[in-house]
Amino acid sequence: MCLTIPAKVISIHDFPDSPVRNITVRDSRGEKDIKALMLPDLEVGDWVLYASNAAVSKISEEDAREILELLEPKSNRNHKGFRSTL
């Protein structure tokens, strides 16, 4: 079983003639470079769920915030319920 983590896409690096895209995402732990395959409509500012080193689906910002709130220990939340890094 894998846990997928929400992250915001901050940059996209396409390769000519390849379905694989390298993307940089930001989650509560910082920035990470991952692969995005089968997500052709992905744009900077979108939210994805990723596991290990791959984005597995695109999600809404509302869904991302809800998941992050559920994953975040109460002791680490600010007054709005989210870390200020996102």
Which tens digit of pLDDT belongs to each residue from 60-85? 999 999 999 998 876 555 545 455 45
Q: pLDDT at position 72, please?
A: 81
Please write the tens of the pLDDT for every residue from 49-59. Answer: 999 899 999 99
Write the CA distances from 14 to 1, 11, 29, 38, 67, integer angstroms. 29, 10, 24, 13, 28
**In this predicted structure, what is the pLDDT of residue 32?**
96
Q: Is the pTM of this model over 0.85?
A: no
Question: Span 5-73: which CATH code?
Answer: 2.30.30.140
Ordered by start, the domain boundaries in the chain are 5-73
Question: What are the pLDDT digits (tens) for 7-50?
Answer: 999 999 988 888 889 999 999 889 999 999 889 899 999 999 99
Amino acid at 86: L
